[in-house]
Copies of this chain bind each other. A is one copy, B any other.
C-alpha cells in the first residue's frame, strides 16, 4: 500500500497537468490529504463508489501516460547517472562516459 502510494505520488508529479480538475481534486484529497473514500464522498457529495471509480480510472490514466512517455523511469535513470557524476568529480574520463549516457537518455 505504501509502495502504491509512492508510485502514484511519483506519477502524479509528472503527469498531473494532463488530468482534469476533478481527477486532480480526488487524487489530492485521497493521496495527499489522506482522506478516506467515505470522507471524500461526503466532501464532494458524490457516492463512495463513484469516488472510488474516478480514483482507479485516474491511476490507470497516469500509468498509461507512463507506459507511453516513461518520464518517471527516465527521471530515475537520469538521477542515478547524476549521482555517479557527483561521485566522480576527480575523474574526467568517468564523467565523459556518464555525460554520454545522459545524452543517450534524451
- On A, residues with C-beta under 8 Å from B are 14-15, 17-18, 65, 68-69, 71, 75, 78-79, 82, 85-86, 89-90, 92, 95-96, 99, 102-103, 106
The complex places the Cα of A96 from the Cα of B68 at a distance, in Å, of: 32
B85 near A99 with CB under 8 A, answer yes
- On whether the beta carbons of A102 and B89 are closer than 8 Å, the reply is no
Known: A82-B99, A86-B96, A95-B95; 17 extra A-B contacts, CB below 8 A, are A14-B69, A17-B68, A18-B65, A18-B68, A69-B69, A69-B71, A75-B106, A78-B102, A79-B103, A82-B102, A85-B95, A85-B99, A86-B99, A89-B95, A89-B96, A90-B92, A102-B102
